[in-house]
Amino acid sequence: MRNLKVMTAYRGTNYHGFQKQENAVGVQNIIEEKLGYLTGAPVKVNGCSRTDTGVHANEYCFSFETEHKIPCGNIVRGMNSLLPDDISILSCEEAAVDFHARYSCKAKEYVYLILNRPSKDPFMADLALHYPYALDTELMERSAQDFVGTHDFTSFCGTANRKEDSVRTIEYFRIEKNENLVKLIVKGDGFLYNMVRVMVGTLIFINEGKLAPDSIPDILSAKDRDLAGKTIQAHGLYLNRVFY
């Protein structure tokens, strides 16, 4: 039995996240269907993480087992000719038997894109948050440094998965500005449900004076979701890199 590691990129606009759904279409539904067609047998894919509806991926990893002898290069070419235009296979390689896209993942980098100008960009409507007001990215980047390190992120987690261990380690949180495009870049060993979106929403609240610039340590200690900012829209969020 071969175990294959595949990198993919997708525009999440038309999908209910990566994971397979019963009553909606996840990216996984499409990928399993096309892989099954290509290998002639049902395929079960293991994704590196769940992503929310509308979230994009510049690099997303999944693994799957197959007995078929099809070369990796043919999987890339075959899948890219079968898949719709908003899903792309970047690479495919043989992996060790115990490799698992989710459990073997050491870290992930997310990017949140904000278009910061008065008028909308008709080409980025579903690809970046349109924020027409002043944005103090230096203030936000300073505050964001309080996320870095190992913390219990209960306050920055959506209510859906409160049960699991909520301690995560953030390696860096940077903000880059290129003309009107603001990029928030965060890398960590793992992220709770909605965690990046709540962190970005909290920095927006700090920008708007709804929270103090030094409020993040207190919000972390309180372990109370109600103290953080709002969950920012999904369509500006990208899983940007996965590390193994």
x-or-dash string of contact with a copy of itself, 122-161, rule CB under 8 A? xx-xxx----------------------------------
- Radius of gyration of the chain measured on its C-alpha atoms: 19
Question: What is the smallest separation between the CB atom of 169 and a copy of itself, expressed in angstroms?
Answer: 30
Measured from the CB atom, the residue of 76 and 195 that comes closer to a copy of itself is 76
Among 19, 21, 46, 80, binds a copy of itself (CB under 8 A): 80
Q: Quick one: CA torsion of 120, 121, 124, 130, rounded to 10 degrees?
A: -30
179 binds a copy of itself (CB under 8 A): no
Single-letter amino acid code for the residue at 166:
S
* Residue with the two structure tokens 């087992």: 65
Contact segment (CB under 8 A) with a copy of itself among 120-128, 144-152, 164-172, 206-214 equals: 120-128
Among 70, 90, 148, 227, binds a copy of itself (CB under 8 A): 90
Report d(CA 25, CA 18) in Å as an integer: 9
Report d(CA 192, CA 172) in Å as an integer: 16
Does 226 participate in catalysis according to the annotation? no
All residues at 6 or more sequence positions from 81 whose CB lies less than 8 Å from its CB, including other chains:
none
x-or-dash string of contact with a copy of itself, 49-68, rule CB under 8 A? -------x------------
Among 121, 176, 208, 214, binds a copy of itself (CB under 8 A): 121
Contact segment (CB under 8 A) with a copy of itself among 39-47, 119-127, 162-170, 224-232 equals: 119-127
With residue 144 as reference, give the H or E element that holds it: helix 137-144
* SS3 (DSSP) at 102: coil
Query: Are 242 and 175 a contacting pair, CB within 8 Å?
Result: no
- Catalytic positions, please? 52
